[in-house]
């Protein structure tokens, strides 16, 4: 079931630092583009959990820990400004809570429902 949307088709999140927008692809594809404010104090891994919670209308505490899929601290470290220069074209993808998550940088994440 797709999440309810608000003004301009944006989903609401507990974190005001997140902007979650559905991406038009095709009728069978549920894809969301998550933008994280670059000056926010939220770490990337926590923002991913919060975004999926908003998309699925689930309390973040009810989702499986992200640490069961990957090391959240390592993910956060890979996309810090000091790491970014070393890995300019870095992207990371993984499955979490029934979604494919693709991280292209510390402020942009694409989340697609797995079929």
Look at residue 5 in the predicted model and tell me its pLDDT: 45
In sequence order, what are the residues at sequence separation of 6 or more whose Cβ sits closer than 8 angstroms to the Cβ of residue 80? 106
- Does residue 53 belong to any structural domain of this protein? yes
Integer Cα distance of 104 and 13 in angstroms = 21
Q: Are 11 and 19 in contact (CB under 8 A)?
A: no
Please state the rounded mean pLDDT for residues 69-77: 92
- Does residue 56 belong to any structural domain of this protein? yes
Type and span of the H or E element at 21: strand 18-23
Look at residue 40 in the predicted model and tell me its pLDDT: 63
**Domain span at 49:** 7-113
Compute the residue count for the chain: 115
pLDDT digits (tens, 9 = 90+) for 22-57: 776 655 568 999 988 876 667 899 999 999 999 999
- Does residue 14 belong to any structural domain of this protein? yes
- Does residue 1 belong to any structural domain of this protein? no
Q: What's the total number of domains in the chain?
A: 1
- Does residue 31 belong to any structural domain of this protein? yes
- Does residue 15 belong to any structural domain of this protein? yes
Please state the pTM of the whole predicted model.
Answer: 0.79
Which residues on adjacent β-strands are paired with residue 10?
none
């Amino acid at each position: 079931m797709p999440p309810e949307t608000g003004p301009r088709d944006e989903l609401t999140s507990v974190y005001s630092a997140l902007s979650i927008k559905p991406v038009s692809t095709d009728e069978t594809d549920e894809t969301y583009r998550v933008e994280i404010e670059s000056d926010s104090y939220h770490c990337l891994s926590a923002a991913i959990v919060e975004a999926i919670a908003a998309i699925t209308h689930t309390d973040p505490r009810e989702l499986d820990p992200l640490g069961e899929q990957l090391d959240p601290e390592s993910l956060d470290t890979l996309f810090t400004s000091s790491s970014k220069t070393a890995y300019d074209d870095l992207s990371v993808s993984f499955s979490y809570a029934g979604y494919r998550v693709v991280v292209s940088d510390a402020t942009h994440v694409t989340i697609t429902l797995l079929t």
